[in-house]
A and B are shown apart, each in its own frame.
Chain A
């Protein structure tokens, strides 16, 4: 058996899901005895059979990838419950195994996959999907690129209809549920539970559930951003969201303003004051890049918007 054949066989076995009691499956996907398959390329020793030696890697794989998703999607886990969350993660990883050198990207296709597998999220599919989008946006905002910030007046002085570039790390989310508040509450409960007794921990879980049960649909326009390396959620008005979205699509200032207030009858002086207020606030948060910043990958950035 050559190197490539060994690697194919081993990876197939390692990535095959564990049994319910976290053992290696007795049969391969095509029905062969896993004992026979393992014995064909792995030596037994005086303590472990070929199957048992291969099983160590099989278990390590699943424990590692499931732990990674568990860490990244605590909010989703709280919404659907730990058992269903584990089943969802296993199903996702079977269809979407890692294609990246880093575990950081393991959940990058989760939202996309869940849209075609809503059965994992019922009866709270809308809420759960919003949570997945928020949790992935956090990951992107945490280590996304930051360009030098715009100095106020720098662009307007030289261009009557400038284009403003947003920081690449900025994430714009149009949501149907207040998952920002919910995620903060879930994390607080998790944190409190870690420091408390089991009884208090159980109360924390019940508090989660009550908060989740209270969630009603509402339109939320959210920016996930970064200040001093910490992640924050900032809700903005629908017009402000449309405005930022237009800027991210490289629209000029006048086009962005038009799109933001389309269909609205707003007096010009009030409109100007509103936009000026946005700029003052967002500039203080460093959301705009200097005009000579290196070109951003807007194709990937726009793919994260909605």
Chain B
């Protein structure tokens, strides 16, 4: 089920995040890459080098937009100016679908610039789903929400995280950007079985999958995107595509960024799991 309504019925393979240290290499060498994911906010500007580079990338590659500041769970309604800028960028990139996080990060117009975890309550699910619908109606493209890494749990929660994710996406009728690294990180921080999470989400709604590395500390794990993907995360990936089918997959590497080849090769490891799935199915 690679193509579905939540990824615009596309059939993308394995991509990587477009990052500044790789601009020169990509523009000069024009490497073969299935697609790039861009951070929307980096290009929601009026001009200059970022948009100039983006236009050159768009001439040659498929691009999907990933946001970090829509904050579907924040209390305030979607900011109209933000949405207008985002829609301008959507028209420019022709992104087939758009992703952002299932989280909150602002209150009354004050921004934390962090992906803060939701309390898993029915009230929060209804509120978040309503905002996702409003954003989708304005942008007029499919939306998929990403599960975040978290370091705290709330007394108020009434369900597991994967039950909450399911509740939200079904109420909003939107897709899921399933981040298997985030599932792993949260499973270690909150002591649950990550396979229960992967097995618990509605596979037919998975529009895209994220893979990444993280950093382990004495008492918790941080989602730092500065390492290769570890084996337990690849196992979750394998199970995710077993359930969802071959799905657009994206490696995130945002800090201590190595060469383009190293990042791309790490991402392409995902194809081994896709091939294994094809053999066994």
Co-assembled chains A and B? yes
Instruction: Spell out A's residues near B (CB within 8 Å).
Output: 1-4, 6-8, 10-11, 14-15, 40-43, 45-48, 50, 52-54, 56-57, 60-61, 64-65, 68, 97-104, 142-146, 168-169, 226, 229-230
Q: Which of A2, A3, A11 contacts B112 (CB 8 A)?
A: A11
Q: Which residues of A contact B111 (CB under 8 A)?
A: 97-101
B binding-site residues for A, Cβ under 8 Å: 41, 44-52, 69, 73-75, 79, 82, 104, 106-107, 109-114, 116, 118-119, 121, 123-124, 127, 151-156, 189-191, 219-220, 222
- Bound complex: CA A14 to CA B106 (Å): 11
Q: How far is the CB of A24 from chain B (nearest CB, A)?
A: 12
Q: Please name the 4 residue pairs, one residue from A and one from B, whose CB atoms are nearest each other, closest first.
A: A229-B49, A145-B46, A143-B45, A143-B48
With A54-B152, A103-B113 already in contact, the answer to whether A45 and B191 are too (CB < 8 A) is yes
Q: List 11 A-B contacts (CB under 8 A).
A: A8-B107, A14-B112, A42-B153, A43-B154, A53-B153, A56-B152, A64-B114, A98-B110, A101-B82, A143-B49, A146-B47
Please indicate which of the listed interface residues B79, B104, B112, B156 has the most CB atoms of chain A within 10 Å of its own CB. B112
Given contacts A41-B154, A42-B155, A146-B47, contact A57 B52 (CB under 8 A): no
Residues of B within 8 A of A14 (CB): 112, 114, 116
Given A97-B111, A144-B48; A41-B75 close (CB under 8 Å): no
Contact of A7 among B50, B69, B107 (CB under 8 A): B107
Residues of B within 8 A of A143 (CB): 45-51
Q: 4 new A-B pairs (CB below 8 Å) besides A7-B74, A11-B110, A56-B220?
A: A3-B124, A45-B190, A60-B114, A168-B46
Decide: B41 and A6 in contact? CB cutoff 8 A: no
Q: In the docked arrangement, what's the CA distance between A103 and B50, Å?
A: 15
Whether B156 and A1, one on each chain, are in contact in the complex, defined by CB atoms closer than 8 angstroms, is: yes
Closest chain B residue to A10, Cβ basis: B116
Q: Which residues of the other chain, B, contact A54 by a CB distance below 8 angstroms?
A: 152
List the A side residues contacting B104 at CB < 8 Å.
7
User: Which residues from B are CB-within-8-Å of A168?
Assistant: 46-47
